[in-house]
Amino acid sequence: MRNDELLAVGSDSAAVLDLFHRRLQMFLGHIRSGFLKRDLRKAGIRKFEAIEVVVQSAAEADPGMLAAIDRANEALEHEGIMVSYQQLQR
């Protein structure tokens, strides 16, 4: 799944966290409804051990984002889902 909803450069932390939470909830809905597994089967992927959600940004992650990612990882570990952060080069 790809998220092309972009925020303007310099967006405040609250806007970034809001987008993160909304998109993560949408992604979890796809997993729990079976849509993601169906899409993986269509792509020829039958067996997998884990799913990684990568948050990509040109900005450094602020402490609030890192804390949100840590909380997401704690909550989703039992489902085989990991959230990570990747800072993109400008």
Side-chain-side CA neighbours of 47 within 13 Å: the count stands at 0
Segment 52-72 shows an average pLDDT of: 87
Q: What pLDDT is attached to residue 35?
A: 85
3 has pLDDT over 60: no
Confidence of residue 4 (pLDDT cuts 50, 70, 90): low
2 has pLDDT over 70: no
* CA–CA distance, 69 with 82 (Å, rounded to integer): 9
The DSSP annotation for 41-82 comes to HHTT----S-EEEEEEESSPPPHHHHHHHHHHHHHHGGGTEE
| pTM exceeding 0.85 | no
Calculate helix-pair angle for 35-42, 13-33, nearest 10 degrees. Answer: 70
* CA–CA distance, 46 with 41 (Å, rounded to integer): 5
Q: What pLDDT is attached to residue 26?
A: 87
pLDDT tens sequence across 74-88: 999 998 889 998 888
* CA–CA distance, 2 with 54 (Å, rounded to integer): 10
pLDDT tens sequence across 6-52: 676 677 777 878 888 888 888 888 888 888 888 888 999 888 888 88
